[in-house]
Amino acid sequence: MKKQITIGVVRETAAGERRVALDPETVARLTAADHDVLIEFGAGEEARFPDSAYQQASASLATRSEIIDQCDVLAVVHAPGADTIALLRAGQFLIGLLDPLNDPVLVAALTQTGVTAAAFELLPRTLSRAQSMDALSSQASAAGYKAAVVAADSFGRYLPMMITASGTARPANLIVIGTGVAGLQAIATSRRLGAVVTGYDVRPASRGEVESLGARFLTSSIAEGAAAGGYARALSPEEHELQQTELARELVTFDIIITTAKVPGRTPPLLVSAETLTALKPGSVCVDLAASDLGGNVSGSVDRKTVVTAGGVSIIGAGDLAAELPTSASAMYARNIHALLESFTTDNQLQVDLTNDIHTAVLICHNGEVVNAQLHARRLEESLNA
């Protein structure tokens, strides 16, 4: 007898991706609720979840084609490739970090297949009842933690003050730019490692959170930098120039810079210029959590690569650093999947309600049509700028 909902998970194929959409613990919760879960062979290996762990959680192992053929819901970390999307059919439900604001080709392909697709990037982070679904925050937390660890590993000196028989080593002076979820976790972890930490944000309201972690707070003289949805807004050219000038004067005093400033669906702001990099001390480290194909916060950063400048400054492009903490990041992400899936489940069946504010926010397409207001606004903006 067929279970209520069949949920499929395939192995991630993006370069450097080690996470998996569901961990065995969450699978056990889903199967206990009388759902079928199909896991592609080896899907959890990189996250240290062997096939046997999924079998113990009552999941079934299957090939990719079998999963796509049988599942009602396909849970992914990143959008699957074009070959996989071509196999999807109308009525199936796709959930993941699909990056629809930056990938109109994907949006068109998903709409054409007739699938219902939901993207975590579109979730309104200010809704308290959506917090358990907030995959951007859960993955940012993992990335922020890992950024501090990566910085410590790449820095050639101690982070904490060390008093030894051979003398005293001064603590590293570290700044985190952008104090959202990733930034606050980077601050907290860097403090635990013993660095002297400063948090920088254009949103003055961030001061209390930064100082509660024992760090110094630094901001700009420009106007309030918060936007709807809890993100930092994009600055005007004049504001950005003033911010750059003020920030550059401060950055030359730091040994380590961690940048986290992303603007959803937009090119990230350049915060550490080439000129500033030349003024940093040899051995300084920059970890750029905003690095992507669209650019980064640090001049010259390349995602997934470390670049060392002529002046001896290491620039670490780390746009998806949560993938380097795959076990914990996958476990948190799986809970986000479970929570979002529950919001679409009524009487153990999938139901889309276009009067539900969470549904209308996260859905990209449904019944062969784009139903998302943000995507419609982006299309209009692009057409006006064409």
Q: Confidence band (pLDDT; 50, 70, 90) for 215? A: very high
Q: How many residues does the chain have?
A: 386
Q: Is 231 a catalytic residue?
A: yes
Q: Confidence band (pLDDT; 50, 70, 90) for 383? A: low
Q: Is 125 a catalytic residue?
A: yes
How far does Cα 51 stand from its chain's mean position? 26
Instruction: Give domain status of residue 1, yes or no.
Output: no
pLDDT for res 1: 45
Mean pLDDT within 109-138: 92
Q: Are residues 50 and 195 in the same domain?
A: no
Instruction: Give domain status of residue 358, yes or no.
Output: yes
Lowest-confidence pick of 149-153, 240-244, 305-309, 350-354: 240-244
Instruction: Identify the residue with better confidence: 309 or 221.
Output: 309
Q: Give yes or no for a contact between 88 and 82, defined as CB atoms under 8 angstroms apart.
A: no
Q: Give yes or no for a contact between 94 and 71, defined as CB atoms under 8 angstroms apart.
A: no
Instruction: Give domain status of residue 57, yes or no.
Output: yes
Closest CA to 118 of 274, 343, 307, 382: 343
Q: In sequence order, what DSSP letters do the residues of 196-223 get, joined into one string?
A: EEEEE-S-GGGHHHHHHTT-EEE--SSS
Q: Are residues 258 and 293 in the same domain?
A: yes
Instruction: Identify the residue with better confidence: 378 or 223.
Output: 378
Q: Give yes or no for a contact between 32 and 62, defined as CB atoms under 8 angstroms apart.
A: no
Q: Which of 58, 103, 125, 328 is catalytic?
A: 125
Q: Are residues 182 and 305 in the same domain?
A: yes
Q: Is 137 a catalytic residue?
A: yes
66 is written with which tokens? 């079998």
Give tens-digit pLDDT for 327-377: 999 999 999 999 999 999 988 889 999 999 999 999 999 999 999 988 888
The answer, yes or no, to whether residue 84 has pLDDT greater than 90, is yes
Q: Are residues 172 and 291 in the same domain?
A: yes
Q: Confidence band (pLDDT; 50, 70, 90) for 231? A: low
CA quadruple 334, 345, 373, 125: dihedral positive or negative?
negative
Q: Give yes or no for a contact between 280 and 311, defined as CB atoms under 8 angstroms apart.
A: yes
Closest CA to 151 of 191, 104, 117: 191
Contacts of 359 (CB under 8 A, 6+ apart): 343, 344, 352, 353
Helix (H) or strand (E) holding 346: strand 345-346
Cβ neighbourhood burial of 246 (10 Å; 0-12, 13-18, 19+): middle
The answer, yes or no, to whether residue 235 has pLDDT greater than 80, is no
Instruction: Give domain status of residue 172, yes or no.
Output: yes
Q: Which of 58, 131, 154, 374 is catalytic?
A: 131
Q: Are residues 202 and 146 in the same domain?
A: yes
Mean pLDDT within 299-303: 94
Q: In sequence order, what DSSP letters do the residues of 264-276 get, joined into one string?
A: TTSPPPP-B-HHH
Number of structural domains (the chain) is 2
Q: Are residues 60 and 156 in the same domain?
A: no
pLDDT for res 232: 56
Q: Are residues 288 and 357 in the same domain?
A: no
Mean pLDDT within 281-300: 95
The residue out of 319, 351, 375 marking a domain boundary is 319
Q: Which of 54, 200, 231, 333 is catalytic?
A: 231
Instruction: Give domain status of residue 186, yes or no.
Output: yes
List residues bridging with 272 in a β-sheet.
298
Mean pLDDT score of the chain, rounded to an integer? Answer: 92
The residue out of 302, 319, 336 marking a domain boundary is 319
The answer, yes or no, to whether residue 385 has pLDDT greater than 60, is yes
Q: Are residues 123 and 170 in the same domain?
A: no
Q: Which of 23, 134, 255, 303 is catalytic?
A: 134
Instruction: Give domain status of residue 23, yes or no.
Output: yes
Lowest-confidence pick of 63-72, 104-113, 157-166: 157-166
Give tens-digit pLDDT for 237-283: 777 778 788 899 999 999 999 999 987 777 898 999 999 999 999 99
pLDDT for res 321: 95
Q: Which of 92, 137, 206, 284 is catalytic?
A: 137
pLDDT for res 68: 96
Distance from C-alpha of 319 to C-alpha of 295, rounded to nearest angstrom: 10
What residue type is 149 in one-letter code?
V
Q: Are residues 117 and 232 in the same domain?
A: no
Q: Confidence band (pLDDT; 50, 70, 90) for 19? A: very high
Q: Looking at residue 226, which CATH number applies to its domain?
A: 3.40.50.720
Q: Is 131 a catalytic residue?
A: yes
The residue out of 304, 319, 334 marking a domain boundary is 319
Q: Are residues 338 and 305 in the same domain?
A: no
Name the residue range of residue 289's domain.
142-319
Percent of the chain at pLDDT > 90 equals: 78
Instruction: Give domain status of residue 167, yes or no.
Output: yes
pLDDT for res 125: 78
Task: DSSP letter for 180, please.
Answer: S
pLDDT for res 280: 97
How do strand 369-370 and strand 363-366 relate by DSSP bridges?
antiparallel
Distance from C-alpha of 174 to C-alpha of 260, rounded to nearest angstrom: 14
pLDDT for res 234: 61
Q: Are residues 285 and 344 in the same domain?
A: no
Instruction: Give domain status of residue 64, yes or no.
Output: yes
Lowest-confidence pick of 26-30, 75-79, 163-167, 353-357: 163-167
Q: Are residues 312 and 168 in the same domain?
A: yes
